[in-house]
Amino acid sequence: MGFLASKEDHPGELKSFASFREEMVERDIAARGVRDELVLGAMRKVPRELFLPKNLREFAYEDLPLPIAGGQTISQPYIVAFMAESLLLKGGEKILEIGAGSGYAAAVLSEIAAQVYTVERLGQLADKAAATLADLGYDNVRVLHGDGSRGWLEHAPYEAIVVAAGGPQVPESLKAQLKIGGRLVIPVGADQRVQELVRVTRVSENEYRSEDIADVRFVPLIGEEGWTIAKEGEARQVRAGRCGRFLRKRKRWSGTSPT
């Protein structure tokens, strides 16, 4: 277990990462409206500090997105919890994540699900995430290096799919890889920098219901069913460490649409 110097009034006193984690879950996640006990339990367990570069570990329990390799970011803990809650999990599911990044969100989901499949476009991050997850004993997570905008057909259908990068629209491949009754949560927006978090539920073979649930800011989903390239403004956003971030909650139905 790691320790950090306490920020409170006893200089020199050491406080464990575990107690900072416990405080963060109460202050930044439960107190801000995440109620799902499965999600809160998972957030209390996963050591976020071990998914971060060593020099950033002391910030692991600030509710912030932080830079990881490849100009990408580990998402803000609150948005990881909010997205996991939005998947309406009961436990024991097969989940697909697009955008493994550090592997942190996959670890959180794997505490709830039976099996997590996660796809990462950058080889360097895919390798590192797979190694971190294996070191920590997350043997129900599999990492694939590739374009996740097309999903991971081999293991489909999934009860839940979560995308940690924003696309211009909901990829048809991901909709098609949902089980009937399954939920897909994805940031979508015409702007590469700001998106609406959308939950798509597969109601029947050919019918999907779509809800906008929050305003968020994510790195772009780059791939065949995402953006072709990142725009210059996006690169600045990533450098500023402002992606994977929750902006505002909303509740609005955008109706049912056929395939």
- Of the residues 104, 138, 152, 246, which one makes contact with ligand SAH according to CB under 6 A: 104
From residue 11, alpha-carbon distances to 6, 8, 16, 207 in Å are 7, 7, 14, 59
Judged by DSSP in three states, 171 sits in: coil
CA nearest to 246, candidates 42, 15, 80: 80
Instruction: Judge whether 75 counts as a catalytic residue.
Output: yes
In the chain, helix, strand, coil percent, each to 5?
35, 30, 35
Task: Return the number of the residue (71 or 157) whose C-beta is nearest ligand SAH.
Answer: 71
Query: Which of these is catalytic: 6, 16, 19, 75?
Result: 75
Which amino acid is located at 224 in the chain?
E
Confirm or reject binding of residue 73 to ligand SAH (CB under 6 A): yes
Confirm or reject binding of residue 99 to ligand SAH (CB under 6 A): yes
Per-residue binding letters, 32-71, with ligand SAH (x by CB under 6 A): ----------------------------------------
CA-to-CA distance for 54 and 71, rounded, in angstroms?
16
- Of the residues 29, 130, 165, 178, which one makes contact with ligand SAH according to CB under 6 A: 165
Q: Specify the residue for token string 């097309």.
A: 150
Task: Give the number of residues written for the chain.
Answer: 259
Task: Return the number of the residue (6 or 136) whose C-beta is nearest ligand SAH.
Answer: 136
Residue 7: which H helix or E strand, with range? none
- Of the residues 39, 81, 113, 119, which one makes contact with ligand SAH according to CB under 6 A: 119
Confirm or reject binding of residue 122 to ligand SAH (CB under 6 A): yes
Helices (H) then strands (E): counts for the chain = 7, 12
Task: Return the number of the residue (47 or 244) whose C-beta is nearest ligand SAH.
Answer: 244
Residues classed as catalytic: 75
Q: Where on the chain is the footprint of ligand SAH (CB under 6 A)? A: 72-75, 98-99, 101-102, 104-105, 119-122, 125, 147-149, 164-165, 219, 221-223, 226, 244
